[in-house]
Structure 1
């Protein structure tokens, strides 16, 4: 008859003392979470009969936290990837028992964003991509008063009351786009820029960065009036066709937010080979194909995995440490993708 595994076997496999295993079992003294997990793994490996008790003690020592996330454009590949990375980052934490709750605002109206935020008031912390509007500042202020910190992601909103902004330095992103087009296009001409809407603070900063770089360093280029595409494919497609028709000296386009698929489709339709330098944000199946074909000159991408890991880390700390009264910014370095990198 096989010998029944003992605490000595567990201790030997885990590389700890029998006393430590005993403490993990009876919970009379605190054992570090990392050590508890090592003991639990060893108990599984040797087939120790009381391993379930060790796991219960681990669960009792690890706090539960629920994190809410608000995104837009549920059908867009980028936000689908974002949601998956957020869920992964929460699940990967070993210091908490985390749960991610995802909400999508059905439109860009402040009311829809406000409802999405309010629906997550039961969470320990919330992260959101949303527009600038006084209604959202009021909702975030109310959540803060109830002890629920809110983080702005990609686009900064509710400045002064939100806990932290995490994303790219959007002024820098606009300047990178302008640098790339002005250094690549052989002859100056007209340039166009698309933004998602007038209340996207990040898009405003990208536009400012784009225009300021050209004023300082490439004044021979002229930038047309900014076009608002509501981050939709169809509006961008129609506006791009109109741009090419009305401006035969159009040399470049920067799509500062979503809707790049429309610009790609329009340029393919009117030009048998690439003639307009197009810079976009994010790599999706469509933008990757356009990069390979030359219709996209460069894509500036958000490091979603790093962003989500950093974001969840900030959210965990905010729950554990409380509000220190400091509203900060956490910038990530963008990834630059060129055709030869694919």
Structure 2
């Protein structure tokens, strides 16, 4: 038989009204009493659990804000969130929201908005690109600095002892995740591959036309360009430029996020490896972590990165 509110109240020696306020995440209860109620509810098996995260006892309203545009990864992520949460994100934050998931630039104005949301009693998680200075309950995504370091390691291993230039196509350094990937990539090149250097690193704001133009320029300026690392969503422009320019020796092309288009690049030998964030897993974890933060009395959940996947032509997973 499932435990009741009365059972929890008896166990922690508090009133049923106090227990009800805690379970429904309402104000007016001290942090100590919230902890007592949640611990009792957990011990009695009252709260559901997913992926070792305690979930709220009642339905919660979650909203997600994603800069979708023409970004195929963001479109996939939004679809997976809808599939898992069964509730689409709204254009404006509703008064009923208990939790918010957001992908946003790391900017003082953004951080201030996010603080206002949390101070209003709404739980917050950041997705894909973190904003550590914001009072979020959790970050859901890969370690982007490690992803950049991995890209550099792969680039160096692919090229061996060859000496030459690389091009870097940066989405937007306003996103902390893109900035961290660039730093990680440059760090490993400096540490382990002095034979390789970055001749151009252009910020294209995730615009495919801009990435196409900049890649064509790089291929013209460096006919023997050894490799291209695309940090953000400009990969379609890079692939188009490689296809049209037809260099004597195709540069090693490394990009992020397994989508319908990047699957094609792998199969067609345009891309050599895709470092994938796993949109489905990020979507599921963002919902679980938001629900867990609503159910928990603690302001922050345990940090846990999504493990990136390295996708080559021979191990492209079934869609």
Q: Place the TM-score, normalised by the shorter chain, in its bin.
A: 0.7 to 0.9
**Secondary structure of residue in 2 paired with 1:101:** coil
Q: Say if 2:101 and 2:124, in contact at 8 Å, map to a contact too.
A: yes
Q: Which residue of 2 aligns with 1:189?
A: 164
Higher relative contact order at CA 8 Å, sep ≥6: structure 1 or structure 2? 2
The range that moved more, 233-242 or 309-318, is 309-318
Flag structure 2 segments of 5+ consecutive residues without an equivalent: 8-55
* TM superposition shift of 1:305: 2.2
Q: Does the C-alpha gap of structure 1 residues 29 and 152 become closer, same or farther in structure 2, counting only changes over 3 Å? A: closer
2:228 aligns to what? 253
- The Cα shift of 1:201 comes to 0.6
Alignment counterpart, residue 136 of structure 1, candidates 110, 118, 123: 110
2:58 maps to what in 1? 63
Query: 1:320 and 1:340, CA in 2 relative to 1: closer, same or farther beyond 3 A?
Result: same
**Quick check: 1:153–1:166 contact (8 Å CA) kept in 2?**
yes
Partner of 2:256: 281
Tell me, in whole angstroms, the C-alpha distance in 2 between the residues paired with 1:102 and 1:123. Answer: 10
Find the partner of 1:320 among 261, 275, 295: 295
Matching of residues 32-71 of structure 1 within 5 Å: 63-71=58-66
Task: Give 1:168-179 correspondences, 5 Å limit.
Answer: 168-179=142-153
d(CA) in 1 for partners of 2:108, 2:180:
19
User: Which of 47, 53, 73 is the aligned partner of 1:78?
Assistant: 73
> Where in structure 1 do 4 or more consecutive aligned residues deviate above 2 Å?
27-30, 73-77, 118-122, 324-330
Alignment length, in residue pairs?
Answer: 267
How far apart are residue 228 of structure 1 and its match? Answer: 0.2
Normalised to the residue count of structure 2, the TM-score between the two structures is 0.77
**Does structure 2 conserve the Cα–Cα contact (< 8 Å) formed by 1:175 and 1:212?**
yes
Structure 1 range deviating more: 258-267 or 278-287:
278-287
Q: Could you say what secondary structure the match of 1:165 adopts?
A: strand
- Shift in CA distance, 189/28, structure 1 to aligned 2, threshold 3 Å: closer
**Residue 148 of structure 1: how far off its partner (Å):** 0.6
Matched, 1:308 2:283: yes
Would you say 1:218 and 2:193 are equivalent positions?
yes
Larger helix proportion of the pair:
1
Larger Rg over CA atoms: 1
TM-score by length of 1: 0.72
Distance 1:332 1:135, change over 3 A: same
Deviation, structure 1 residue 239:
0.2
Aligned to 2:205: 230
CA distance in 1, matches of 2:210, 2:169: 10
* Change in 2 beyond 3 A, CA 1:219/1:121: farther
- In 2, the alpha carbon distance for the partners of 1:273 and 1:125 equals 52
